[in-house]
Chain A
Amino acid sequence: MTMTRFAIPIAIFVALVALLGIGLKLDPREVPSPLIGKPAPHFELPQLRETTRTFTERDMRGKVWMLNVWASWCVSCREEHPVLLDLAASGAVPIYGLNYKDKREDGLAWLKGMGDPYKLSIYDFDGRVGIDYGVYGVPETYVIDKAGVIRYKRIGPLTPQIVKEKVLPLVRELERA
């Protein structure tokens, strides 16, 4: 009798602890983006280096590519940078940068000092394109398919593990499509 009497409250307690434990493990910063599966929002912005030339997502039609949002003031970008350099060197996917709410000279100095993994970077001074892409925690990374649809979004720095397990398999699959 006493066993069953306590079994139920203990079971409820254990279930509650498990539930709260899972809750602790979840990252509230990882908000599922409503943009996945939707066409990449249109932009046309001047490039960071060649200020007179613009770049738009339409230039990338028919290609699988990666858009990486970065800024010289962003601490996590520093952590992510070597991963991007490695990925760029492997040639697996072209990486384009979106220099977000930065000073142009700071952005250029960053690329000069740390290396430039980007085919080119565009310059979003007022963060408007960032808002269109739902950016709120730089760095953020998007994988966009040949039809211009966003297939993957990462909020926060890319790690070698994420690149290996998520990004590269997805790029390979999209390339085949």
Chain B
Amino acid sequence: MLRFLALLPLLFAASVASKEAPPAAADPVLEKRVMALAEELRCLVCQNQTLADSNAPLAEDLRNQLREKMREGRSDAEVVDFLVARYGDFVLYRPPLKATTVLLWFGPLLLVAAGFAVLLRRLLRRRSIEVAEMTAADRKRAAELLAGTQGERR
């Protein structure tokens, strides 16, 4: 037992040493940043895939560009601007709010609002029909019909 305890510090030493070992990937932090940003960007060749997903040669080139710019110390926003300057807002999966994209952003809300307006109008109209009071004449006629005195006029 004592001998085992004596070995314990060695175990810790080993774990410390293993932490200091260089990471296998070139730079996992940078790689993570590249992939996180690439998830937000559209591949121009296969338009419904992100730059991160796509295997198109252009997507690969663009990922390399992202990596290179980031290594130069550019911020995410600067890298995105670099791509937008070349390919337009279309590369962004979250397009900016501009005059040309207002309909894109608020169109669905507008449709929902229109739907609610129609629904509300319908409901109000239905209520006004149901609420219609019977007149005294109506009541009298109904009573007669029920009693069968007059029946249908022949």
Contact A136–B61 (Cβ < 8 Å): no
Question: Mostly helix, strand, loop or mixed at chain A's interface?
Answer: loop
How far apart are A155's CB and chain B's nearest CB, in angstroms? Answer: 10
Complex interface: chain B residues within 8 A of A101 (CB): 57
In the bound complex, CA of A28 to CA of B45 (Å): 11
| Contact mask for chain B residues 31-45; partner A; CB cutoff 8 A; 1 contact, 0 none | 000000000000011
Complex interface: chain B residues within 8 A of A35 (CB): 86
Q: Interface residues of B toward A: which range?
A: 10 to 19
How far apart are B130's CB and chain A's nearest CB, in angstroms? Answer: 19
CB within 8 Å of A: which of B65-120? 65, 84-90
Contact B87–A134 (Cβ < 8 Å): yes
How far apart are A74's CB and chain B's nearest CB, in angstroms? Answer: 12
Which residue of B is nearest A101, CB measured? B57
Which residue of A is nearest B90, CB measured? A31
8 Å CB contact of A34 from B57, B61, B65, B86: B86
CB within 8 Å of B: which of A26-83? 28-29, 31-35
Complex interface: chain B residues within 8 A of A106 (CB): none
Q: Is B150 an interface residue (CB 8 A)?
A: no
Q: Is A127 an interface residue (CB 8 A)?
A: yes
Contact A134–B61 (Cβ < 8 Å): no
A-B contact pairs, 29 of them (CB 8 A): A28-B47, A29-B47, A31-B44, A31-B87, A31-B88, A31-B90, A32-B90, A33-B88, A34-B84, A34-B85, A34-B86, A34-B87, A34-B88, A34-B89, A35-B86, A101-B57, A126-B61, A127-B57, A127-B58, A127-B61, A128-B61, A131-B61, A131-B62, A131-B86, A132-B86, A136-B58, A136-B87, A137-B44, A137-B45
Taking A34-B85, A134-B86 as known contacts, 4 extra A-B pairs with beta carbons closer than 8 A to each other, sorted by chain A number, are: A29-B47, A126-B61, A127-B58, A137-B44
